[in-house]
Every structure is written in C-alpha cells, then in structure tokens.
Structure 1
Amino acid sequence: MAASFDTHVSPAPPGGLPAALWLYRFDGEGCAHALDAASTGLGALGAPDAGWHWVHLDLSDVRSAQVVACLPIPDDARETLLSPDSHVNLQREGRAIHGAFVDWVHQRGVDLAAEGQLRGDDGIGWLHFAMTEHLLVTARRQALRSVEAARRALIAGAPAETPVRLLELVASRFADTVERSSDGLSTRLDRIEDRVLADSIGEERRDLAQLRHQTVRLHRPLTAMRRVLKPFEQRHAGDADDELLSAIARLNQRFDDLDGDVGTLQERARLLQDEVAAKLAERTNRHLYVLSMITALLLPPSLVAGLFGMNLPGLPFAHSSHGLAFALLLGVASSALVYGLLRRMGVARST
C-alpha cells in the first residue's frame, strides 16, 4: 500500500548517510545485511523492491539534521527525530509511525550478555524513531542498551520481517533488562528479609534504602511507557489486524506484568523497612530500659555513699570498727528495697 503522507525531500547530502551509525537491509525472510552507510544512497531507502532498511542516526552529529531532511518520511516525523524532548510519545500519521521510547544508557565496555542487570550509574536515554512500511529510522544522543542488544541479536541471526517487528524487539530488550534487574532485586530483598527474621540487623536500613531507590528507577520508565502505549492501543482498538496494534498489545501486557512485579518489590521493601525500624526501636527501648534499671538500682547506694562521705560530727558508724561493712550492707539493702518496689509497681519486668 502506498504511503498516504506528503514527504518533501531535500536534496541528498553528498557521500551517503554521514551521520548514520549503521545501516541494515532486511530481505524477505527478515535477515539483516549490513550496508556501508557512507556509500549507500538515499534513493534505496524505502524502496519496496529492495526489502526494508534500518538507519540508526547519531543526533550528536550536526549532519544528522541534513540526513533527516532528506528521508522519505512526514514532516512531523522529522521533527520527532530531531526533537530534544525527553518524554515517551507515539503518533500515527497515515501509514507512518513516529515517537520516542525510553531506554537505558549503554556504558561502553559493558558486556551485555554478562551484565544483564542495571548498575548504579546507568541512566535514562531516549530513542527517537520514525517508521514506514519499508523504513525504520532511529536516532539517539547517547548509546542505548536496548538498541545495541537488538543489533547484536540481529547479527546473531534473529529475524525481523518488518520495521514493527524490529521496534518491538528493541522494546522487548528494554523489558528484558527491567525483568532481570527486578529478579536481582527480589533475590537481594529475600536475603535481607532472612537476616531481619533472624534478628541479625546490621546495615539493612541502608540496603533497603538503596533497594527502594532502584525500584523507583525501574518503576518510572515503565510507568512512562504504559502511560503512552495503553491509550494508543485503546484509540486504535478497531484495527484488530494491524501489526503495530498487535505488537503494542503484547508490549502493554508485558509492561503491566513487570510494573506489577516492581510494585510488589516496592511494597515488600517498604514493609520490611518498617519492620526493621520497629525492631531497631524495640532494641533501643530495651537498652534504655536496662540503663534506667541500672540507674535506679545504683541511685540509693550513691545516696548512701554521699551521706557517709560528709565530714561532719555525729555520722553513724563513724567510731565503729565495722562501719564500712555496715555502710556497704546499707547500700545493698537500699538497692534491694528499690528493686522490690519496682517489681511491685510492674516496672522491673523481664525483657
């Protein structure tokens, strides 16, 4: 089907696609074939007889604007690709789709196969994209984890029959990272919970605070994706046979499940943090109780010692050879008397 949008294409820049990080052509079976972006002309992009193409642009390259201006996509899609906006959006214009998805910033030198979970310094990035039947254009300002993971999957032989399938693959890689990170946080939370139940509390308050912070980092991008994808699916619910709507429905279901898992982690961490605070408060109260009891028991002997320490005439036992023993017995008797009174009042209860 021919595209129903108006594309005013500027003259092609010399030297192919100078701002493209990579360019792939996909055959009828969805297999990716790498092309030289520097020598490939723009005329081949979007041509039905040449399969379909994926162009990935670096927006930090000033030449990317010139390349975007030459692409056979709607003007609104060009604006989306070059927009500095940092929020999730998804728009449909005839047969063209454009928008921005959230993703994790990819740290250089990190092995994606070995490092599936998020690290403490992994930030949020934004993937801008425009898509037609035979062309997918993605653009970013920072290296993105899910895009790199999807590219490596394609190189390894994963098929992508259509641009929609590739976009779903990228979003699925984002969900994979969230799922693995959520599983890792759940394991950490289980270990903390075991220590709390064993009453072996050390750095649990700090660990729980870090864990809750990481769950918030997972929850926010999931909420942003769900806030856009779900209304999009509802607005176009009548297009049941549309490939994009089927992909959006699958992503919505997965994001809903992941958000529920992250929400459960947040609730568990909050309840466990409350329990740790209660146990620490109980431990503090126990220590204060012991200190109060010691103070109460030592106060009468201190009074006796202070009394006999006065250098005044008429002190009892002053001229007795057993005066010290009598004074000590009096101090012990006064402590015993106070302890007995506290027991009768219910203060000296067992802990």
Structure 2
Amino acid sequence: MKFILLCIALFLNIQANETKGAQPPPSLVKTLKVKEGYANSLQNYVGTLYYDRNSKLASDSSGVVSKLYVKEGQIVKQGDILLKLESSILEAKLKAKQATLDSFLAQQTKQQKDLKRAEALINKKSIAQSSYDNTYYTLEALNSEIDSHKAELLSMKIELQKKSIRAPFDGVVVKRDVDIGEWVAVGSSVFNLVDPKSIEARVNVPSKLLDTLYNGQKLQAMIEKKDMEVIVKTIVPLADKASRTFPVKLSFKSDKNLIQGMRIDVKVPTLKKEKVLLVPRDAVIKRFGSFVVFSVADGKAMMIPVSVINYTQSQAAILAQGLKVGMSVVTKGNERIFPNMPVVEKAD
C-alpha cells in the first residue's frame, strides 16, 4: 500500500513539474505612464463614398457598332478591347494605300541604283550633267511622294485604331450606352468605367472647423457598421456659399464590398475641448474589432477597451474605464501579448 501511495506521489510531482515547465516565459514589454490632457471633442458628419477613377469613355471616331466585347458589371484589364466600330471600308482603303506605297518603294530602290550608276559615270565624265540631274531629281520626287503616302498610311492606321475602344485602366464596366448596330458619333458616350480600388469618401464640414483638420490626419469612421480609420487626403479650399461648408476628401484601405454611394460616418474634431487621457499612439491597437490598450497589473497584461477621441503626431487622446493617470500602458510588445499573460515591464 505504501509503495502504491509513493508511486502516486511521484507521478503527481512529475505532472506538476511538467505543467510548470510548459508555461511560457514572461514577455518583455516597454511601458509609459498615462497622462492627463485636453483634446478637441468629436462630432459625427455624414459623407458619401465615390470612385476617384470614374471615366465616361467617349468615341474618338464615328461609325456603326459592329462588335461588343463586354457587358455591365464585367471586370476588364487596361488595354482590353471593349467595342469595335465598322471599319471594313477603311481597312480596304488602308490595303490599297499600302500597295501604292510598296509600288513607290520599289521605284525608289530602282532609282537609287540608277543614281549610283549615274554618279560613277559623271565622275568619269561619260554622261552629261543634265542626265545626272534628271536621275537625281527624279529620286527626290519619289522620296517626297513616299513621305506623303507614309503620312497618309499612318493617319489611316490611327483612324483604324480609333475604331476600337479600349479600357484605359483596370476596372469594372458599370454602364454601357450603346448596342450592336447603333451609330456612334465622335464624342458620344459609350461606357462608364470605374476603378473599385480607387474608392474614397467625401464629407462636407463647416468652414469654422478648417483649423482642426490637416492633410494626412487620421480620423475614425464607420461604413456599413464597420469601424475603420480614414486619412484626410485633400481639403478642397472652396466653400459652399449657402451651407458654409467645404468638402474634405478621405482615403482608406480599399474593400471589395464598398461601392460608390454608400454612407460614411466620420468623427471630426470640433473647437470644443474635453479632458482626456493621453497615451502614446503605439499603445493603442485593435483587438477583436475594437481599440484597446494593455496595462500591467501584478506582472500580468490587462486589456482595457478605449474610445479614441483624437490623434496627434505622437499621442492618442482616449477615454477608458479602468484606466487612470499614472498607470503604465504597453507601448512596445503589445502586438504579441494577450490578457492575463505574464509580462516583464521595462520603462521606455
């Protein structure tokens, strides 16, 4: 009986040692103290998504639509042919012009040989100067004729290229304005092509808030109930006389599910100041779709949800329950730690 109890004790001791050895070592993190400060409070403004690259393709040539290669909603690559206009007569004229040019080129070759023989004979004074001059100027006339035919041929080739309308960039055909058999005039709209990757946003903001915004500024926004970060791309210096607002263009990471016309809600800094907690920007990260910071308590990481009020170049103004001035927040190493994970603080 004693032997059995001894075996059980040894087994439990081995298990305890193995479990203890399996625990990961504490993760080294850098921390900084939370400070108190003031930041501009935020107000929600509603904007709209739009495609920055949105081309209404027009025809450079006139004619009847003979072939259509795409339909609405189709993805195309730059250079893809979208449609062709009837060009059989132009192609026949081009072949005829090419044949005429080939004939003149053959005459040019013969005349060049005649000129070389004439040069040899004139040097020997075996022919009259007038005979040499006649050969020389005949070749010059042929060269001019050939240049003229080449220019006409090039013009016809360019015109033939215009009979095919190609995609100017990678995108999606969102509208088609013509069908097979329709007559297209020069300048007529044929397709509407957009680049889904160029999706941006535009929001109209009161002109009094001009001083609170700057190019490159990061703002918090929501699209289709999804939180995301947007960047001020351009502040258009043209206010609307009636509403006294000016448009602000915003860029953000593209998403294939976002399309033109969708609503965006943007948190814009106002002139009003409110008391906030100030932490380094690197302390605020996203976990499970929300903004959080990690503090350290009793040697373990403690995850605290936060609301971001504003950003500066180096700090984030936040509000958070459970976070107080003087507490430490993790600034480096927070991307690899989890709640209740053992950590070792190293003041930054």
TM (normalized to structure 2)?
0.20
More strand as a share of residues? 2
More helix as a share of residues? 1
TM (normalized to structure 1)?
0.20
Larger-gyration structure (1/2):
2
